[in-house]
Amino acid sequence: MDFLAEAARRAWGLLIAGDSEVFGIALLTFKVAIVATAISCAVGLPLGYFLATRRFWGRRAALTMVNTALAFPTVVVGLLLYGILSRRGPLGGLGWLYTWQAIVAGDVLLALPIAAALSAAAVQGVDPRIRRTAETLGAGPWRAAWTVAREARFALAAVITAAFGQVVAEIGAAMILGGNIRGSTRTLTTAVALYTSQGDFGMALALGLVLVILALVVNIALQVLQGRGNA
Amino acid sequence: MLELRGVRHRYGKRLVLDLEQFAVPRGAVVAVVGHNGAGKSTLLRLLALLEAPTEGQVLLNGEAVPRRAPASLRRRVTLVEQRPMLFRGTVRQNLLYGLQLRGIAPAAVNGIIGDVVERLGLQPLLDRRRFELSDGEVQRVAVARALALRTDVLLLDEPASSADSAAAGALYRALAAERAARPVTVCVASHQLEDAYRWADDIRALVDGRLSPVTPENLFRVDLPPGDGVKSVRVGGIELVVMTERTGPAVLAVPPTDIFVSREPLASSARNVFKGRVRGMAIERRGAGVHVRAGGGVELVASVTAEAAKDLALAPGANVVFSFKATAVRVF
């Protein structure tokens, strides 16, 4: 127990002192998570709406694929993308391997199925009369989609939270694609793993606390946005 | 104005609508009557250009509508569903929705909203949200939201199903005022014949997705003489006995289900007894419709069960007697 208390004291000290390494890692993690969440939701939410509202040949197969992708192991995604981004891979020319952009690419691939599958479920939960009513009042496809999204805002906010949660807590792809390079691609999760393996439990705990605080802040922000106005 | 040609519409493998031709002429009020599940709401969704028929065409002013109707065409037609939905926000925001989509200037918007709000008595509800409204109030707001758009065609699916009699009255008056103010084409779906009689220039019956040849159209436009109580009015070559205090122009309706069919005259209290010959029969899932041409060339339609039709050996050409009470004749 002493060891845990000592670690907690050291973590608190690092946070209070504004340790530059802790905050540098937190900042990079936040940047990667925001960019990856934004990209995956920008693509995934419209894709989910499309899958939920349009009837086309292969729709069921597409939904099955998206749902299957929810369970993709992060290290497998990391490995696949490593092959693609490595110097001999098809996108090796981009020079992204061991950069934060590579971590974003991996995180997007992991969060996209979450955004698409859960938003499809959220839109399917909206009464179909909402879209029909929007259309019969003269809304075009985009405005009708926006009207449906407003009705499903709580569920869609939960989708964004889930995508952010996946991205911020993911370690496998970040480790493989970023390489855990100090000051460059070290994220909170890879750093926690590293410091734990080195026996610096205080530092690992401090970074873990930052990770929890980060998740908390983003959740609170989304809840504030959801709470604007009632039914 | 709006027309369906050769339309067959399926949900999965189930055929829900099968209409060779269905037209709603410009400026007319057409009522579609039928039991729940007859296909009325599906028909209205096709007419509202919200769904494309599995087979066949929808025509607006004689021109075929593309399978995915563009918003510019959809804005000429609007539908109020049987259980309408209001969007989140206040009643005022709901009334604004379609007007803003059409880019109507704010000054004009206020005038339009004020007009429909007054007609439907919605002033006290303007700042309420949807969960603060009763079903009847939601229905009135939905009708107001549709009326505010001043579309060429107005489609109403059981518009007064949740309204009490006062609210239904306000609804009918508002729609009558709209028709008086501008040429608007209306198609109303209802399972209540009285709504149809009250409303429509033309009544069509839908049975299992098909237009029934047995339209409940025992409708007669008459001029009622003065006086209270029992009156006789001439309709074609027959005299109808009716119980009413009304005088002047009126529509008389005899619900087909209120007509007794027999092979010989019955000793009964029925004041209206007409001999005639069966012109046609239509056997449907819920029974048989019997067309009779009574003396004087007046056509009447009665509904009987399939068993009764069999027991009476009803067939085209058979001589029958139609009987109904003076109180069975509805006056509108």
Chain A residues touching residue B131 (CB < 8 angstroms): 231
Helices (H), chain A: 2-16, 20-53, 59-69, 74-85, 100-124, 128-136, 141-151, 153-169, 172-178, 188-198, 201-226
Q: Please give the residue of chain B at the shortest CA–CA distance from A140.
A: B71
B172 to chain A, any CB pair closer than 8 A? The answer is: no
Q: Which amino acid is at B124?
A: P
Report yes or no: B299 and B279 within 8 Å, Cβ to Cβ.
yes
Q: Which helix (H) or strand (E) holds B309?
A: helix B306-311
Nearest to A135 among B50, B89, B149 (CB): B50
Write the residue in B50, B89, B102 that is nearest to A136 by C-beta. B50
Q: Which residues of chain A have pLDDT under 70?
A: 1, 227-231
Place of tokens 């998740």: A215
Q: What is the pLDDT along chain B (332 residues), one digit of tens a residue?
A: 899 999 999 998 999 999 999 999 999 989 998 877 889 999 999 999 999 999 999 999 999 999 999 999 999 999 999 999 999 999 999 999 999 999 999 889 999 999 999 989 999 999 999 999 999 899 999 999 999 999 999 999 988 777 777 777 778 888 888 888 889 999 999 876 666 766 777 888 887 898 875 455 677 778 899 988 899 998 888 889 999 988 888 878 888 888 899 999 989 999 999 988 888 777 655 556 676 766 667 888 888 887 888 888 888 888 999 999 999 998 87
Please give the tally of structural domains in chain A: 1
Q: How far is A170 from chain B (nearest CA, A)?
A: 36
| pLDDT at residue number B213 | 58
Give me the residues paired with residue B219 across strands.
B253
**CB of B9 less than 8 A from some CB of A:** no
A136 within domain boundaries: yes
Ordered by where they begin, the domains of chain B are 2-211 (3.40.50.300), 219-331 (2.40.50.100)
H/E segment holding residue B241: strand B238-243
Give the global pTM. Answer: 0.75
The predicted complex's ipTM stands at 0.75
pLDDT reported for residue A1: 61
- Which of A132, A151, A229 lies closest to B50 in CB terms? A132
Disruptive mutation site among A53, A126, A137, A226 for chain B (greatest number of B CBs within 10 Å) = A137
Of B76, B83, B87, B153, which to mutate for an interface test with A (greatest number of A Cβ within 10 Å)? B87
Chain B residues with CB under 8 Å of A136 CB are: 48, 50, 74, 77-79
Integer Cα distance of B20 and B7 in angstroms: 6
DSSP B271-288: SEEEEEEEEEEEEETTEE
d(CA B97, CA A139): 9
For residue range A14-70, what is the model confidence (pLDDT) as tens digits?
Answer: 878 888 888 899 999 999 999 999 999 999 999 999 999 988 899 999 999 999 998
Would you say B204 and B215 are in contact if contact means Cβ atoms under 8 Å apart? yes
Q: Which residues of B touch A150 (CB under 8 A)?
A: 87-88
B101 neighbourhood in chain A, CB within 8 Å: 137-139, 143
The boundaries of the domain holding residue A74 are 2-226
Please check whether residue B197 is in contact with residue B253, taking contact to mean a CB–CB distance below 8 angstroms.
Answer: yes
Amino acid (one-letter) located at A197: S
Does residue A108 sit within a domain?
yes
| Residues of B with Cβ-Cβ distance to A230 under 8 angstroms | 88, 129
B173 min Cα distance to partner chain A (Å): 22
Within a domain: A231: no
What are phi and psi for residue B175, nearest 5 degrees? -70, -35
Q: Is residue A105 in a domain? A: yes
CATH of the domain at A35: 1.10.3720.10
Identify all chain A residues contacting B50, using CB atoms and an 8 Å cutoff: 132, 135-136
pLDDT score recorded for residue A231:
46
Hey, is the C-beta of B87 within 8 angstroms of any chain A C-beta? yes
Q: d(Cα A34, Cα A18) in Å, to the nearest integer?
A: 22
Contact A151 B149 (CB under 8 A): no
Cβ separation B98–A138 shorter than 8 A:
yes
In angstroms, the separation between the Cα of residue B100 and the nearest Cα of chain A is 10
CB contact under 8 A, A137 and B131: no
Domain assignment present for residue A24? The answer is: yes
**How many A-B residue pairs are in contact by the CB < 8 A criterion?**
58
